Amino acid sequence: MHEAIVPMREKMLVYFLYIVVSCLFTSGLNIIHARYMLDIPLTPEAFVAPVIAGFLFGYLLARIKLLQERMSRVAYTDPLTNTYNRLHFGHFLDSEIDRVKRYGGTFSLIFFDLDQFKAINDEYGHLVGDEVLKEVASVVQNANRGADIFARYGGEEFIILAPATDRSGACTHAGRLRKDIAEHRFSEIDRLTCSFGVTEYRKDQDDIVSLFKRADNALYSAKNGGRNRVESG
């Protein structure tokens, strides 16, 4: 994934520090306001009130910030796999197309899905199917480069935007991913394979529709060719 996923322990530490800083800052402002604006002597009673009010207000600010972060994550991530969702992936793709048109270079798309995923859902149930999707996403996230944009496209389909990568490089990366997934021992179903379709952006020919169609056709060829393989178009 393009952005590092912060561990929960680290998130809670940052959240705690934000509460402390917010409380101290607002408490200080309240004391200054009471002493110099309202001209209230700083007796113990007059000191405690703005401190308590400041801590309460700081806590509310921290809660609001946490809520904003959660809403933001809902807007751009897939809740099951914690990858980007299809809508947010489109924003990255638009930006990458604009960058290539303006400055040159290229990029590639890697489109893949899970082989025989319906059979997994039918045999093991949808809860196991969800766990499989999460494990696949984790394997791919661990293997992707920092610049790669990884998203769940829908159902059992995933897509990767590989900036500054030609078709040959993308095929090499897709081959590594295919191997990593095929060799991964899943917790519930043991083994699984994926099929991959790869294409490179053609600056003078492509729009988003033609780019996706070519990647989809390559994936379709991989499926028809026996699955667990990489095809390019």
Q: Which residues are catalytic?
A: 156
Q: Alpha-carbon torsion 89, 92, 97, 100, what sign?
A: negative
Three-state DSSP class for residue 23: helix
The Cα diameter of the chain in Å comes to 83
On whether the CB atoms of residues 211 and 109 are closer than 8 A, the answer is yes
Residue with tokens 């996706």: 212
10-21: buried (b, 16+ CB within 10 Å) or exposed (e) per residue?
eeeeeeeeebee
Distance, in Å, from the CA atom of 79 to the CA atom of 28, rounded to the nearest integer, reads 39
On whether the CB atoms of residues 83 and 152 are closer than 8 A, the answer is yes
CA Rg, the chain, in Å? 25
15: tokens are: 């959240």
Distance, in Å, from the CA atom of 179 to the CA atom of 173, rounded to the nearest integer, reads 10
On whether the CB atoms of residues 148 and 94 are closer than 8 A, the answer is no
Q: How many CA atoms lie within 13 A of 43 on its CB side?
A: 4
